[in-house]
Amino acid sequence: MFIILGFYKFKNLKSLKRQKKNLENLFSENDIRGTLIISKEGLNGTLSGKSKNIYKISKIIKNSFKIKNFDSENLSKSKLQPFHKPKIKIKKEVVPMGIKINPNDKKNNHLEPSEWNNLIKNKNTLVLDARKPFEYEIGSFKSAVNPKVKNFREFPKYLSKLGKNKTVAMFCTGGIRCEKASIYLKQRGFKNVFQLKGGILNYLKKIKKDESKWNGECFVFDNRVSLKHNLQEGSYIVCSGCRIPISNKQKRSKKYEEGVSCPRCYDTLTKSQVNRFRMRQKQILLAKKAGKKHKFQKEY
C-alpha cells in the first residue's frame, strides 16, 4: 500500500537550489515519487511512497524550510504506485497566476467541509470552481460556476469583474489555487471571500455521500486519474491522444481507440499523429505482454 501526501505552504523561502539538491538525494534514498514545486513564495507537492518514508520526508521538508505546519495536508492511499518518478522543480510561482502576492497576507477564511454545505446553499453566494474546464466537466458542486479560463493566469481577469461586496466561495482540488486567489482578492479589497479547507479532496474524505453536494468525480494529476467519495479510485482514464480524462461512456464511442484517440480529439488528429500513436500503443502492449514497462508509456 502506498500513501499519497498532497500539501502546500505559502511562505517566503530561500536557498532553493541547495534545498532542491538535498531533497533529490533524500527522495532517491527513500523511494519517494511525485512532484514538488518550490519557489520563493512557497511549496506545492503531491508525493507518494511507503508510509514510514512519506512521514519521514514530510518531517524533513518541514524542518528544511522551517515550517511548523503545512497550510493544507491531504493523505490518501493506493494499492499501486501512482507516480512513475520523482520531480522537484524550482518555479517563479508556486502556482502560476502571473501576479505578485504577499505569502504572509493570508486570511482566516477556510471553511471546514461540515460548514461548506451551509454556505453554498445560499443563493446569494457565488460558488466558484477554480480548476480547469475539463476538471469541472468530470465533477463539481451542484451550484458551482466555472470561469472557463484556459489556465490560472487568466483567473485574475475573471476575478477583477466581480463586485467587491459579493460573497465568494471558492474551491479547487487541494486548496492551493483558492489560497492564492483569496489573497489576491483580499489585496483588492474583497471582504466576503471563503475557501473550502483542504479542497475537494478533504471534502470527499470527510463528508458522507448521502450528505454530499458533490456531483461526479474529482480529477487528480497522477495515475489514479480520478477519485470518488472516501477518496476511492474513480472510473476515468486518460486519453493518450489529448491527455484529457475520458469516461466509460466515452470509451464506448466509435471515436475512441485505446492509446490513440477519444471523442474529444478524434477529429483534430492528423494521419501522421494517428499512425504514430498506434505504433506507440503497439510497442506498449508488446512490452506489457513481456512483463515490462515501455519508455513511451505516459505516466505521472
Alpha helix segments (H runs only) across 65-128: 113-120
Distances (CA, A) of 61 to 40, 69, 104, 112: 15, 10, 19, 25
Is 242 considered catalytic here?
no
Partners of 43 in beta bridges: 9, 38
- What are the start-end ranges of the E strands in 95-161? 110-111, 125-129, 139-141
Q: Are 20 and 90 in contact (CB under 8 A)?
A: yes
Q: What is the CA angle 232-173-112, rounded to 5?
A: 90
| Cβ-based neighbours of 82, under 8 Å, separated by 6 or more | 2, 4, 34, 48, 222, 223, 224, 300
Catalytic residue among 172, 239, 262, 265: 172
Closest CA to 138 of 9, 255, 225, 40: 225
How far apart CA 73 and CA 70 sit, in angstroms, is 6
Report, as residue numbers or ranges, the catalytic residues: 172
